[in-house]
Amino acid sequence: MFEARTNGGILEIERPETVWLSTGWRGGRRVADAAYSVTVPDGWHPDEIALDVADRLAAAGVVDLPADEIGRTAPILLTGVDAENARGARLGPVEAYATAGVSNLAELPMDPVGTDFPDGGKWDRPIGTVNLVVGTTAALSEGALANLVAVAAEAKAATLCFEIGAPGTTSDAVVVAADPSGPETGFSGSATPVGNAARACVREAVRASLHARYGENPPPSSVDRAEYGIVTDARAEVFSPE
- DSSP per residue, 58-121: HHTTS----GGGTTTSS-EEEESS-GGG-EEEEETTEEEEEEE--TTBEE--SS---PPPP-SG
Least confident of 140-154, 182-196, 225-239: 225-239
What confidence category does residue 114 fall into, taking pLDDT thresholds of 50, 70 and 90? confident
d(CA 116, CA 144): 36
Chain centroid offset of residue 64 CA: 23
Helix or strand or coil: residue 132? strand
Tell me the percentage of the chain whose pLDDT exceeds 90: 79
Q: Helix %, strand %, coil % for the chain, to 5?
A: 30, 30, 45
For 36-54, the DSSP string reads EEEE--TT---S-HHHHHH
Write down the number of H helices and E strands in the chain.
Answer: 3, 12
Whether pLDDT at 93 is above 80: yes
Span 199-236, pLDDT tens digits: 999 999 999 999 999 998 888 888 888 888 888 888 89
The whole model's pTM is what?
0.93
Confidence at residue 224, expressed as pLDDT on a 0 to 100 scale: 80
What confidence category does residue 121 fall into, taking pLDDT thresholds of 50, 70 and 90? very low
Name the class of domain 3-231: alpha beta
